[in-house]
Structure 1
């Protein structure tokens, strides 16, 4: 299975290394850039959903479409 490009960490916060080789004992990478892009796309996607839509279907569409947009943004980053 191929691994999906998640863009790496959106807001990397290096942990404090206490190891002699400067490796992190507990690195904290935060959310992925893909997750961040999807979260930013959600309000725009939400506007496209009719008010009388089935709630479960609407939420499924929201998540699916937001990540599709995030994947498109990551692909555009690779082309530039």
Structure 2
């Protein structure tokens, strides 16, 4: 299983539902994988996958995990 061999530092995780995980599925995945940081992706590009990325971050934060919503074009650097 992902995360059993090596620790996941940054997890990019879909939250849009329908064709990917929805928010609740993604929250469960974060609990299993236990990344240092989870960043939601694959949402709000069209009506069928509307989701609130801040809701995802709020839910994982309540479970003790870190999350960040990136704005379009925003960059993060990791070392």
TM-score by length of 1: 0.26
Rg comparison, structure with higher value: 1
User: Which has a greater percent of strand?
Assistant: 2
TM-score by length of 2: 0.26
